[in-house]
Structure 1
Amino acid sequence: MSGDTMAPGDQAPAGTPGTGENVCPRCNGSGSLEGGTCPVCEGSGTVIEGIGGG
Protein backbone atom coordinates (compact mmCIF):
# COMPACT_ATOMS: atom_id res chain seq x y z
CA MET A 1 0.00 0.00 0.00
CA SER A 2 1.15 3.48 -0.69
CA GLY A 3 -0.06 6.97 0.07
CA ASP A 4 -3.70 7.21 1.02
CA THR A 5 -4.71 3.98 -0.71
CA MET A 6 -6.73 1.79 1.64
CA ALA A 7 -7.90 -1.81 1.39
CA PRO A 8 -11.47 -2.55 2.51
CA GLY A 9 -10.18 -4.00 5.80
CA ASP A 10 -8.07 -0.96 6.69
CA GLN A 11 -9.24 1.40 9.44
CA ALA A 12 -6.96 4.25 8.29
CA PRO A 13 -4.35 5.02 5.61
CA ALA A 14 -0.85 3.64 6.16
CA GLY A 15 1.30 5.96 8.26
CA THR A 16 -1.58 7.46 10.23
CA PRO A 17 -0.43 8.14 13.81
CA GLY A 18 -1.84 5.60 16.26
CA THR A 19 -2.12 2.83 13.66
CA GLY A 20 -0.04 -0.14 12.59
CA GLU A 21 -0.07 -3.22 10.41
CA ASN A 22 -1.77 -6.37 11.63
CA VAL A 23 -2.30 -9.78 10.02
CA CYS A 24 -5.48 -9.84 7.96
CA PRO A 25 -8.19 -11.56 10.02
CA ARG A 26 -9.92 -12.98 6.94
CA CYS A 27 -7.03 -14.75 5.17
CA ASN A 28 -4.71 -15.08 8.19
CA GLY A 29 -1.94 -13.23 6.34
CA SER A 30 -1.82 -15.40 3.22
CA GLY A 31 -3.28 -12.73 0.91
CA SER A 32 -5.48 -15.30 -0.78
CA LEU A 33 -8.87 -16.77 -0.02
CA GLU A 34 -10.74 -19.59 -1.77
CA GLY A 35 -8.30 -19.60 -4.69
CA GLY A 36 -8.40 -15.85 -5.27
CA THR A 37 -7.18 -12.58 -3.82
CA CYS A 38 -8.47 -11.81 -0.33
CA PRO A 39 -11.10 -9.04 -0.60
CA VAL A 40 -10.29 -7.64 2.86
CA CYS A 41 -6.54 -6.99 2.48
CA GLU A 42 -6.50 -6.99 -1.35
CA GLY A 43 -3.73 -9.60 -1.35
CA SER A 44 -1.25 -7.89 0.97
CA GLY A 45 -1.93 -10.19 3.93
CA THR A 46 -2.06 -7.20 6.29
CA VAL A 47 -4.54 -4.53 7.33
CA ILE A 48 -3.98 -1.16 9.03
CA GLU A 49 -5.64 -0.96 12.44
CA GLY A 50 -5.74 1.36 15.39
CA ILE A 51 -3.32 0.46 18.18
CA GLY A 52 -3.08 1.30 21.84
CA GLY A 53 -5.73 2.28 24.29
CA GLY A 54 -7.63 5.36 24.96
Structure 2
Amino acid sequence: MSPCELNALIAAIANYFFTSMPQDRFLCLAVFLNELSKTMLSMPLYKDLCNHEGKFHP
Protein backbone atom coordinates (compact mmCIF):
# COMPACT_ATOMS: atom_id res chain seq x y z
CA MET A 1 0.00 0.00 0.00
CA SER A 2 1.42 3.37 -0.97
CA PRO A 3 1.45 6.36 1.40
CA CYS A 4 -1.24 8.03 -0.73
CA GLU A 5 -3.48 4.97 -0.53
CA LEU A 6 -2.95 4.72 3.22
CA ASN A 7 -3.78 8.41 3.64
CA ALA A 8 -6.98 8.03 1.58
CA LEU A 9 -8.02 4.97 3.60
CA ILE A 10 -7.48 6.73 6.94
CA ALA A 11 -9.37 9.81 5.73
CA ALA A 12 -12.26 7.62 4.57
CA ILE A 13 -12.44 5.85 7.94
CA ALA A 14 -12.34 9.18 9.81
CA ASN A 15 -15.08 10.59 7.56
CA TYR A 16 -17.23 7.50 8.13
CA PHE A 17 -16.88 7.76 11.91
CA PHE A 18 -17.57 11.51 11.80
CA THR A 19 -20.78 11.10 9.81
CA SER A 20 -22.09 7.98 11.57
CA MET A 21 -21.37 8.67 15.26
CA PRO A 22 -22.77 11.23 17.69
CA GLN A 23 -20.27 14.02 18.30
CA ASP A 24 -19.56 13.06 21.92
CA ARG A 25 -18.72 9.47 20.97
CA PHE A 26 -16.65 10.62 18.02
CA LEU A 27 -14.61 12.89 20.30
CA CYS A 28 -14.14 10.11 22.87
CA LEU A 29 -12.94 7.76 20.14
CA ALA A 30 -10.58 10.43 18.82
CA VAL A 31 -9.05 10.96 22.28
CA PHE A 32 -8.72 7.20 22.84
CA LEU A 33 -7.06 6.59 19.46
CA ASN A 34 -4.74 9.56 19.99
CA GLU A 35 -3.58 8.21 23.36
CA LEU A 36 -3.19 4.71 21.90
CA SER A 37 -1.11 6.08 19.04
CA LYS A 38 1.19 8.07 21.35
CA THR A 39 1.75 5.05 23.57
CA MET A 40 2.42 2.73 20.64
CA LEU A 41 4.96 5.18 19.19
CA SER A 42 6.72 5.72 22.49
CA MET A 43 7.17 2.02 23.33
CA PRO A 44 9.72 1.18 20.61
CA LEU A 45 11.46 4.53 21.12
CA TYR A 46 11.86 3.80 24.82
CA LYS A 47 13.12 0.31 24.03
CA ASP A 48 15.71 1.70 21.60
CA LEU A 49 16.93 4.31 24.09
CA CYS A 50 16.98 2.22 27.25
CA ASN A 51 18.21 -1.21 28.22
CA HIS A 52 16.06 -3.87 29.87
CA GLU A 53 16.56 -2.33 33.34
CA GLY A 54 15.10 0.95 32.14
CA LYS A 55 18.45 2.73 32.21
CA PHE A 56 19.63 4.96 29.41
CA HIS A 57 22.37 3.52 27.25
CA PRO A 58 24.51 5.61 24.88
TM-score > 0.5 by shorter chain: no
More strand by percentage:
1
Calculate the TM-score normalised by the size of structure 2. 0.23
Q: Which has the higher helix share?
A: 2
More relative contact order in 1 or in 2 (CA 8 Å, sep 6+)? 1
TM (norm. structure 1) is: 0.23
